[in-house]
Structure 1
């Protein structure tokens, strides 16, 4: 024990000599520590305190798993309503057997739907402020990066309504992007209402994404991988359990409503011979080139962003109307056409025209922030490309028993992995959609090669990062930032701190020193002082009845306040903005319940590398 601690303890034993005196001192300290609490009575009940200790302000995995399960069920329920809101009006009011069969409508009906939906969306967003129009996958990525996973409820509602209008009216977009926003928003809102800590709120938002993907495609494994690969941007044991639970619950809800079938009607597929491997590699290269063209097209069409909304979206609607006059298959999600391509029912020329038309319309929608998704169109483009490669191989080797559907599925996986920069999610989706392990090896080849062409040959990011390229608030997080935002502030916090009033009596000071705290927090002043300064003041002036902690010689540290919900990134950001070295951590939002303190040095020591002793 060092000399300072010995002096502090010796002084404390001399000043506190009787049990009655100690009791008076305890009462005085309780009075000073909770003076503000009595002035403003705390609303935290014992039940609320238990909830915080077990779930919201805790690293307890069981509590987070329960919230993730709830998130999965609610998210899947909203996605189910979203799908029904798209499908039921089309089937009820038009003479078509499937909600995707826009080809079965008359040209006049298709035109009225497109023009009416486009006009309604323009009118709707005309009244929405610019800062509230953000939605889709890019909105989720931005809120995860800059706002710790806090997604506003109004954007979620706007996304749900606008995506239904866009898809019912037949615009050439997908439903998965809005579903991801709705799922992430569901998890975020549940986390916000339960006052979840920030590092766990991000996991809960990702759990909602997994449930949404699972409910959309009936692919729970792909939902888990997509959430961690694209949204969380990391794989962690702590995140796997709640995200898996949410994804499974999403699949259960989807299967209860829509049955056990996946989103596509996949025929029996197989790799006939290893002689096909070079052709599969060629497919990967071609898919990488098409994915590159798609991303470049989005970048080029982003130049329309400065134009008025009526031109950006109205032009897209008119272009869709013009192309659909000859190619009605490009309307809507287009999964019926994908199923036809899987079964070899679409001729070569039509597939080529559909690929070009879908690329143009989908990239336009992605470039001008149209309120729907691009994942469905990317799968459509991949199916068209794979179908073209499959039919081309039949022409080149007519006697070879080759499956066109096999190459169609590989094209879908390759495009998804390359455009979204999500190769593992694409591979797992291939496995789940086909329920055929034989597709893993050729799928790995095509997906990896296509991804390498985009990322290494052309040095392009994912299409989502291209969409966010003009947003100065977004930057790809570094590994250190990832670690900081996933670490709870409590893990670096010092809790050996006593809160005291500015003026302290001798006996009270002795009792405080006897507790051997690391720091003293001057109540109401947001200032920290070392206990050694108090001990020295008591020794210097033995006749003083009270000590003014602001007048004695001491190394005082100014501090700001932060919630216990924060992570280490929040703490460092606040220190930087206030030019401080210390933060006072409070359990409640009103900053009445003191929990501890954290310094910049505490945080830096948490992530700085130190070689093991003896290494």
Structure 2
């Protein structure tokens, strides 16, 4: 008997500790708790990225003995059949999936974050893992970072779902997963943090930075234990030799912006004219990649080997132009047709080859230019920053990918010029926003919505209330008031109402009440009653604000649901509480 009692007490203490932990996460001020979440998100994301990279790279090493990037070593028949076979396999796989399960990648993560409070179904993790691996193994022109971001976000989201965390912390977890995915995929933890804040979370807050930083560092360190910490590109000490390079740097930024705008517009046009059948879209994408790969095999796969050659100046101008043009076309077509691939890798490759081409053309007009690798590096950052409209993430990615701080100043100039040209000159959204618009989704959020998403209703709710039925005796009413509540939640079959305890006290003190056995109708006594709606304790203040506006109520009561069909009211939220938080 004592052992059973001890077991129950231990179980109760554990539940109380978990509930306290969840409650502490209702506001971003819980720094230690969010730090722990960041480490856990980075840890689990690191493991899933290791598994994904191992599957892709091990399979490619079996198919391509010369290395996972050596698609050009395949004979012409195999070079054509491999992308086609991959596309056919994906077409068959996706034809059996529900429509809601077919959306993958960064755009899907952004949609789940905005419309579903960051809840990503676990099955989408497995679908992205398999689909992303098949696409990369079969040589589809794309990068691994798109699937990696989805995998990291889904893993972190599932962690939050298992722990039953409030919705505001789910947003932080998604940011942690994305940062860890980018950091561990490229060995660029700082770029992962900036990308997550610029593209995924879409805001910068001091409190939000800390868990995201810890996640990126943890995920990167985990992956480095398996794949090492060597930079993707081996770059000698390249920098700007003189300020005479600066005009050419600005011109390069403008020309790269033209390519970025072309990539976005071609992707939009492809999607606009794409067939409805997902199977047919994948077959067309695979056929396009295979056909272009026959002529220019360097476009198959990610293409980082071509970047390394361009950095060393080993590729002639015609080859640089051919690879850049075909890579751009293949990437835009694949993205427009919905192939489950990443686009950061292709933007780096296209930008690098375009930068190398620019140097060779510019060097015919000036003999004072810096090394060709300098313009290759700038092209990479400019293309990434312009296409993603994430200039700071692009800058940090350059520094970490090349481990060359000497390019920071000219890279800032080139990236900013490219970003402004695309955003203001061509008036185009980021490529992720364009993808969302093609799917009929609006990912823009106003400042108020972002602010209210940082905290849950539990952080502002009043716990000083009592719950009662509509009818009760004077004795029962007096007993309620002895608890000194501020509010009385009236539960009724028709509709629930909120009554001020002061109004009930005044009603009891009136001369109309003669006996302690008199029955009171709390819906009829003098006083102001507020229409009230229900909200779960996990909801953010943004969700609460939407419910108040949508249902035209004057207050919300917060409930916990310990079991199906069982609700426990735990707090009251007024519009003034939400307003007070926003103004603070």
Structure 2-normalised TM-score? 0.93
| SS class of match (2:467) | strand
Displacement after TM superposition at 1:514 (Å) = 4.0
Q: Which residue of 1 aligns with 2:468?
A: 500
Which among 218, 230, 238 is matched to residue 269 of structure 1? 238
Which among 441, 460, 484 is matched to residue 516 of structure 1? 484
Q: Deviations over 1:437-491 (max 9, x none)?
A: 2211001000000000001111111011111113444240011111121232133
Q: Which residue of 2 aligns with 1:532?
A: 502
CA distance in 2, matches of 1:373, 1:56: 37
Q: Confirm or deny that 1:573 pairs with 2:573.
A: no
User: How many residues are treated as equivalent by the alignment?
Assistant: 566
CA distance in 2, matches of 1:574, 1:45: 33
Displacement after TM superposition at 1:508 (Å) = 4.0
Q: Which residue of 2 aligns with 1:582?
A: 555
Which among 224, 239, 243 is matched to residue 208 of structure 2? 239
Q: Which residue of 1 aligns with 2:426?
A: 458
Q: Confirm or deny that 1:65 pairs with 2:5.
A: no
Q: Confirm or deny that 1:259 pairs with 2:228.
A: yes
Q: Which residue of 1 aligns with 2:169?
A: 200
| SS class of match (1:189) | helix
Q: Which residue of 1 aligns with 2:4?
A: none
Give 5+ residue unaligned stretches, structure 1. Answer: 1-42, 610-615
CA RMSD of aligned residues (A): 2.1
CA contact (8 A) 2:235 2:404 kept: no
CA contact (8 A) 1:146 1:474 kept: no
Q: Which residue of 1 aligns with 2:574?
A: 599
Q: Deviations over 1:59-98 (max 9, x none)?
A: 422222112211101111111111111111121244x221
CA contact (8 A) 2:23 2:458 kept: no
CA distance in 1, matches of 2:337, 2:62: 31
Q: Larger C-alpha radius of gyration, 1 or 2? A: 1
CA distance in 2, matches of 1:78, 1:431: 26
Which among 42, 51, 58 is matched to residue 18 of structure 2? 51
Which among 412, 432, 446 is matched to residue 478 of structure 1? 446
Displacement after TM superposition at 1:44 (Å) = 8.9
Q: How does 1:97-112 map to 2 (within 5 A)?
A: 97-112=66-81
| SS class of match (2:93) | helix
CA distance in 2, matches of 1:174, 1:383: 15
Displacement after TM superposition at 1:113 (Å) = 1.4
CA contact (8 A) 1:68 1:187 kept: no
| SS class of match (1:325) | helix
Q: Confirm or deny that 1:488 pairs with 2:460.
A: no
CA distance in 1, matches of 2:472, 2:293: 81
Distance 1:502 1:47, change over 3 A: farther
Q: Which residue of 1 aligns with 2:400?
A: 432
| SS class of match (2:438) | coil
Which among 522, 541, 552 is matched to residue 549 of structure 1? 522
Q: Which residue of 1 aligns with 2:256?
A: 287
| SS class of match (1:214) | helix
Give 5+ residue unaligned stretches, structure 2. Answer: 1-9
CA distance in 2, matches of 1:279, 1:330: 27
Q: Confirm or deny that 1:127 pairs with 2:127.
A: no
Range with greater deviation from structure 2 (446-455 or 599-608) = 599-608
Range with greater deviation from structure 2 (210-219 or 308-317) = 308-317
CA distance in 1, matches of 2:39, 2:230: 23
Range with greater deviation from structure 2 (505-514 or 336-345) = 505-514
Q: Confirm or deny that 1:408 pairs with 2:380.
A: no
Displacement after TM superposition at 1:256 (Å) = 0.8
Q: Which residue of 2 aligns with 1:348?
A: 317
Distance 1:586 1:415, change over 3 A: same
Q: Which residue of 2 aligns with 1:186?
A: 155
Structure 1-normalised TM-score? 0.88
CA distance in 1, matches of 2:349, 2:284: 22
Range with greater deviation from structure 2 (240-249 or 581-590) = 581-590
